[in-house]
Structure 1
Amino acid sequence: MAGRKRDGLPAWKIPLIKAMLRRGGWSNEQIAFLLSTVDDTVNLGRVSDVKRGKRGGDVEAAIDEELDRFLMLRETNAGGVDPKQVYGPVHPETLRRLFVPRSENRNFLALGESDWAEAKERFNTRAKKYLKPIMAFANNRGGYLLFGVVDGTFEIKGIDREAFERHDIRLIDNAIGGALSVSVRIEKGGFEIDGKFVGLIYVHEAEEKPVFTVIQDGTEFADAAILYRYPGQNLPIRSQDLRRILAQRERQAELRYRDLIRRVADVGATQAAVVDLDSGRVDRSDRSHYFLSPETLKDVRLVDEGHFTEREGAPALTIVGTAEVAGDHIAIKEHLGPDDLIEAFLDRQQVPNPAAYLEELCHASAKWLPVYFFAQQAGFDEPGLIAHLESVRTRRETSKNKQLTRLRNRERPGLRNTTNLSAVEGNAGALAEPPTEEVLQDPEQVKIILRTIMALIELPENRDQVFAWLRAVWERPDLVKNSYIGQLFRAALVHVDELGWGFATAAPAPAPSRPASTPAEAS
């Protein structure tokens, strides 16, 4: 039974497909490639069917050991990395793996309709003829234009190798360069099967999406047209794919900004500033200011990437935040994330701009984050804190409203409200001891430590040990990613925040009740 096919897909491959989907890290295309052989090609649609439950719905996923053994025998790099990433997209080894003839008839490539390869029987030197597929591939994940292969059947006809290799790819690059919104990187290559040469152009995925036309020449292309590669065809992009591209672009920009902040922080810089390049005035985040000398100002220049550099021997100018050029001024702002709030709280840092840390609460999806620690640094009382958050402009109104409701109603995590002293009786002394690997390796012991912290009525005189335990748990991703322990950690975190820095007018903690035992009790 194991060798029988289910609607054209061998039964033994279904558990492996499910195991790869479960583990993650592979696209549908890569899974199909890994499971294809010369004698048995897995169609991309079959993988999609398994993913959607249309095929093999009653089949269990392969266990990890079985998947690992298959990947090892498959001889793919690092457990199944795309060969384009290992060797390069036009390297002979990549092409040997991707483009193989059918076992039953070597005159045909073992390909089906896909979103990563398009066949052309002939190579046309009119470069703009390939504008459509190049734009479509660039907006998706990149792909191959094959010349000498019949579209639809993938019969290998071959083309004149010498003529193809003699053609200057820069002619294509220049022709499409002026017609598209951004430069698209292309490479030329080819391979032979039984004496027939197949030429190809590989289109790299665009670094900046969406790619669109900037021409209006009365032909089939209108200005600002966006094409996207779908299996077997290049079509105007669908709304859901465009939304995904825009969301990815926004996320990538956010990650670049955060990476810049972290890299500067690693150097040890602690200030944010606005620099006037005409006058040399530097306004700091603490509202003080100073001036750069004319000599220093001349030696500092802004480079294209938006970073500051210096000439050899000139004084260095270090800036915290993201530089945004507007006219002759550079406005510096910090971009933070929930992890930055937790890190600063655990280290009890005096941050240069506590109001910015509070504003991050209105952008974060996580509800339970330190707040009073930063409010005290910013000089806010309770009404002032609420007014400040009300003034924050954000696209995540739900996050903002959650924080405002939390503060107005003086809410506490449900796990905190259901933790009592009797639940951790006899364990209070554990907080006086430094964290040990023995405890941290035992999730049940970690839960007891966190519940002990949540049961505190006031912070002990040696509060460093409390923070040492919180820091030790935070630095163990295996613990924090545990759903229940992660909730306990954040409940303990905000409890310590309130005990140490909460407003004097805050309502007293509710009377202890039964201990929490399941994640369902957290709000």
Structure 2
Amino acid sequence: MAKKIPFSQDDMNVIFKISPAAPERVVSRESGTIEFKESFGWASLAHYLKTSGAYANAKGGYIVFGIANSPHRLCGLAGGGLKSFREIDPEKLSGHFNEHFAPEIEWEIHEYEFQGKTFGLLYIHEAKDKPVLCTKDAGKDKDLKEGDIYYRYRGRSQRIRYPELKSILEAKRENEQRLWMRHIANIARIGVREVGIFDLHTGCVTGAGSSFLIEESLLSQLAFIKEGEFSEVKGKPALKLIGTVEALSGATLGGSGKHLPKGKGIRTSDIVLEALNQENEIEPEEFIKQICYESTAFLPMYYFMKKARLDLAKTVEMLGGVPSRSPTRKKLVDRLNNRKTQKRAIPSGGSAATLAKQKYAEALRKNEVGATFEGGDFEYCLQAIRGLSVEEVKAHSAYLRGLLRGWFNMHYASANAVLADNMRRAICWVDEALNMGDC
């Protein structure tokens, strides 16, 4: 069973998928792998532990702090809840898990910034050794009961039912059979006289040879006693350490540190505003990848390519590894491969629409366009921006980027589809004019 890598941008996109009708809410629902909590507090520890035990016996999952249960409003953590989450001591939390469950529960913690708010996430890995049993009562209403086995069903954590328990026990038996066959095959390969047996409970090694290697996967099951010192980990076999013990595959011994990993959510507004602000973003590749998950491929990308020092071929290769099923990725690659731009020449005819575009193009060249519009003039001005030459865009870069930034912040969220499309394409042309030649 491959160990999941949690908190990827892919996973965050699923959890923090925004409702088109209500941008302050997520469309995600509590499920077999997601549970929402409006805040974080140690008074609810027993409930968190129960959910964690249920996840460990199922497929693993997230507890997300900062999202209300119904409706799923993006509250974010603040005040005492945020302070408590940030001050979680990994050793203390691991102690709670070990005190109430066996075998051991593996978990990871993460802080996530999205839409200017902070969220906390706790991820519980699917247990390697199931079932995970509750070993101690806890909670005012006995949320945890000694001897119970919890399982995560759709949107809830409860005592396991017979079909799921039967499945776990059968899988455990099949796994033990595979391990026996592997051990027998190894013994046959090495030779019976050359094999030693290491007893995890007594610490004794029987058989030929004076040393042995410990497989990396076994390290979490061992506690080491060094001469002159004593260290006890409840429930783990102990070894007397004479000399040194080295782990295979570069593994390290010891507990978790107190560093809280942090991440930042990226959405359409972040991509647009970073490109218009031209801030020194330290992970520009992530902005390019995120476009593959958005609803449109017409977002600025060349600024981020230039910051990442990526040429066209390397960018296309990178996008090929993005696990997005959205058609946006294909359209984005098409934009790159065909070097398509959003420049559109303003015709020389005399229609009212053409005259309006010509008027705004001339005003843009003189930095005379203001921030407000009436009627359909806004669309004509956005189309006029796409009629400017590369040289004109570069000459008025700060002015144009400032206009577009203000319009995007003021109008994009409430714009109809046509106006929003015109705005994105105007932003794309400014990005292309300023940065495409360097990629």
TM class, shorter-length: 0.3 to 0.5
Higher RCO (CA 8 Å, separation ≥ 6 residues): 2
**TM-score scaled by structure 2?**
0.42
TM-score of the pair, normalised by structure 1: 0.35
